[in-house]
Amino acid sequence: MPILVWLALAVVAILLPACRICIKAGYPSWAGVFAMVPVLNVLLLWFFAFSKWPLERQLATLQARPTQAT
């Protein structure tokens, strides 16, 4: 029984932050589940490090708009 408790704590300790990071980056929260899969977690890390995040694309679009003088 104690091993299941530790396993559940490890899953929560990895899954919750991974899902929150995905949400803050502009990706769906279920993408954080890939952090639990042994090879996909490294690929996910590289993807987040070198891809243009949806929030960055949205910011670039907003910055490209001409501003209105008031």
What is the Cα–Cα distance from 46 to 44, expressed in whole angstroms?
A: 5
Q: Render the burial of 33-48: b for 16+ CB within 10 Å, e for the rest.
A: bbbeeeeeeeebeeee
Average pLDDT, the chain: 87
Banded pLDDT at 4 (limits 50, 70, 90): very high
Tokens matching residue 27 = 């990706």
CA 58 from chain center: how many Å?
16
Indicate whether 69 pLDDT > 80. no
Banded pLDDT at 11 (limits 50, 70, 90): confident
Of the two residues 67 and 29, the one the predictor is more confident about is: 29
**For the whole prediction, is pTM greater than 0.85?**
no
Residue 57's pLDDT is 87
CA 12 from chain center: how many Å?
15
